[in-house]
Chains A and B, each alone.
Chain A
């Protein structure tokens, strides 16, 4: 292979509809997978308890006694999906992390160096958003102290989500569908050396905002 071909490899294309379909189906596939994993974990725990190696698991967990206060709830990045979906959410986010991190590596191949963290966030709003979700972010707000709010009025992963069971169910599904994009954003940020938290907020799909909190001194 010639050096030119190695330096500038030909682009590989994927059918857009097929890609959409795979990303949508990933949620339900991972739900099945995490259900199996959770069942296996409980089974092992039960066997261990029966054999007397570990104390028996508490029968009924205290229902969110510590999470009742609204103030502490919003600060926690993991509290935006209820417990049963937590396994699916963390899997989706882990995949997103990997995808985002490496995709950022590819996207920034022909671009100059980042000057500061705002530059990096702009890169996410423009290049990453366009190549992942076909449009730019509609609105970017920042307090210039490490908090950025990215707002997208028609976020592509959420445009096709609906439920016959009503609004609450739609919201629940939309929140799961936003976990993968949140992972992509966090992964891309982490490769740029910015280790922050990314919290998706959905009030009326397909409208979606992502709040990015970066640690101070970046």
Chain B
């Protein structure tokens, strides 16, 4: 029976490379995963702006650092999702990782659709109207809770 992949951290990054939410599931390691998210951005940039542009949203394994493996996903609307999985001996199947990403994308979609986000938006101009900043702020709990629920589901999930 293979072990389910262990999720250490989740990072959501806006199309303009602003961090939306960085959620870690290990106490005291927040800074490390901020660093992981930053480094992943460079790899994502490299993969998506190269000569052969990828057509898949799932970018696969980005890199491995110490005991974590970073996986990347970019939605067609250019929101980047990075997850850090604990490096274990068990095989990590791409299908499982894609499912985690799909779940995260849905969680993000549902949180960002909140019509009340716009009310305290920074800029009123519609040209650069972006609720991305607001959705990850401390004031709105929805995204945080959804990400936590995915983490819980993954812990209980046996492929």
Contacts and interface: CB of A to CB of B under 8 A. Distances in A.
Interface of A: 1-4, 6-9, 94, 97-98, 101-102, 104-106, 108-109, 111-115, 186, 190-193, 195
B127 A6 contact: no
A6 B149 contact: yes
A149 to B, nearest CB: 22
B86 interface: no
Contacts of B112: 102, 105
A149 B154 CA distance: 46
A2 B113 CA distance: 22
Interface string B75-86: 111100000000
A94 B126 contact: yes
B23 interface: no
Interface residues of B, number: 35
A94 to B, nearest CB: 7
Contact of A9 (B106, B129, B157): B106
B150 A6 contact: yes
**Highest count of chain A CB atoms <10 Å: which of B76, B127, B149:** B76
B62 to A, nearest CB: 16
Contacts of A113: 48, 53-57, 74, 76
B103 interface: yes
Interface of B: 15, 48, 53-57, 74-78, 99-100, 102-103, 105-109, 112-113, 115, 118, 126-129, 149-150, 153-154, 156-157
A192 B76 contact: yes
Given A113-B54, A113-B55, A193-B15, A6 B76 contact: no
A115 B55 contact: yes
A192 B100 CA distance: 23
Contacts of A111: 76
**Highest count of chain B CB atoms <10 Å: which of A2, A3, A108:** A3
Contacts of B55: 112-113, 115
A100 to B, nearest CB: 11
Contacts of A191: 77
A-B CB proximity, top 5 nearest: A7-B103, A108-B76, A7-B102, A6-B103, A102-B113
Given A108-B77, A113-B55, A114-B76, A98 B115 contact: yes
Contact of B129 (A1, A6, A190, A193): A190
Nearest to A113: B76
Nearest to B106: A9
A190 B76 CA distance: 13
A3 B103 contact: yes
A8 B128 CA distance: 30
B113 A105 contact: yes
